[in-house]
Amino acid sequence: MRRHQGWKALLALAGIAAAGPAVTGGTEARQPRQVTFSADVAPILYEHCIACHREGEMGPMPLTSFREARPWARAIRSAVVAMDMPPWGATSDAGVIANDASLTPREISTIVNWVNAGAPEGDSRAMPPLPAVGPRWKMGTPDLVLSMAEPFDIAAEPRSVYGDFPLPTSFAEDKYIRAAEVQPGNRDVTHHANVYVNDESGSHRVASFSPGTGAKSYPPGVAKLLPKGAVLNLDMHYNPKGRATRDPGTAVALQFTNEPVRQIAITAQSGSNAIDIPPGEAHWELAGKPFVFEEDSHILSFTPRMNERGQRFRYHLVYPDGRHTTVLNVYKWRHDWVFTYVMENPIAAPKGSRLETHAVWDNSASNKANPDPTARVKFGPEIMNGYFEYVLSGQNLTGK
């Protein structure tokens, strides 16, 4: 559902509350309790921000203490009001997105009130304990870890370097993946890393990394098939930022299910290669080829993909009776934060339903991420891949 409904009104109230008069009750004025870093802001940063903004992670500055956060107070306020941080920018009219990383309106207003009040520290004894650094693998102990056979030297290209690396397996029987996680060997320059398995029905993504993503897991009874003897393919995309560097060894970890598997997770997409964006065009739209469900199904997650000129990406589910709903609206695309949006409750897609996609690009100079607004952009430099995962509702491999 729309988590951000009412956030503008709450922010307006927050600004008034921070600068306005005291609340009057009876014959005496009652001052509202001052919002402080220790009691109010630190818990928000610890829950939403320090996974990236702590020493050794990708955030440009740590925010684990008042001393670290105070110089950035105004920048933090601007980022949360603009909803640039934490990066998210997506809603669904079809249910709750389970991994929604955004702040609530109340959390945003708390940060605004804190900064408007001069960003006070408060009583340091009210500080929550700093969350411990987790284990190497966020999903827990893996059953299998596969990595690049040797380090990969990354040339000092101005933008993108790509690499494909086989990851052989040696299983004599099919395996069923319940969770997967990719860890880049050089996080600083890794734009994304995708792991695919090929079988007779095509190429299927089993794991991926991009900034903001974590371990991928499936609900009980659902798994991804890893055929016996399969060779996985690791697809790497680096942004070396003009300097030569090295990937010492990106790795993928897998956990296999020990429970009976009822349904196989299937990867599909609605997208298009017919991209032809004129130079300087600030609003160029394209619809993807619809995906038609041939059996009653349930949609588990969505992974839209565009590059630097992307602005918005929407998935619409059109039912056989003509009804339709926006199952995912990425209203603020961030090419450097590519999420998989996991639904808390799978979305029913009856037989004959169509999943349609619609994307918008900005090839103008006003797009700060645009590498060249004078270029005519076609498929390759830009993409439109509306990936999603689903299961067949009637599938039951357990036979029970």
pLDDT digits (tens, 9 = 90+) for 207-217: 888 876 778 89
| Ordered structural domains, the chain, with CATH | 7-21+30-126 (no CATH), 144-262 (2.60.120.230), 266-392 (2.60.120.230)
The secondary structure of 22-78, three-state, reads: CEEECCEEECCCCCCHHHHHHHHHHHHCCCCCCCCCCCCCCCCCHHHHHHHHHHHHH
pLDDT at 198 over 90: no
Q: What is the pLDDT of residues 113-146, one digit of tens each?
A: 999 999 999 999 999 999 887 778 888 899 999 9
pLDDT tens for each residue of 259-294: 899 999 998 999 999 999 999 999 999 999 999 999
Residue 362 pLDDT level (bands cut at 50, 70, 90) = very high
- 126: alpha, beta or left, given left = phi > 0 and alpha = psi -120 to 50? alpha
Indicate if the pLDDT at residue 348 is higher than 50.
Answer: yes
Global pTM value: 0.85
64-68: average pLDDT: 95
Residues 47, 51, 54, 55: is their CA dihedral positive or negative? Answer: positive
Q: List pLDDT tens digits, range 298-317.
A: 999 999 999 999 999 999 99
334 pLDDT higher than 70:
yes
pLDDT of residue 9: 41
Q: Which residues contact 228 (CB under 8 A, 6 or more apart)?
A: 171, 172, 173, 174, 175
Of 48-62, 64-78, 121-135, 347-361, least confident by mean pLDDT is 48-62
pLDDT in tens, 149-190: 999 999 987 778 889 999 988 888 999 999 999 999 998 888
Residue 192 confidence class, pLDDT cut points 50, 70, 90: confident
pLDDT at 13 over 60: no
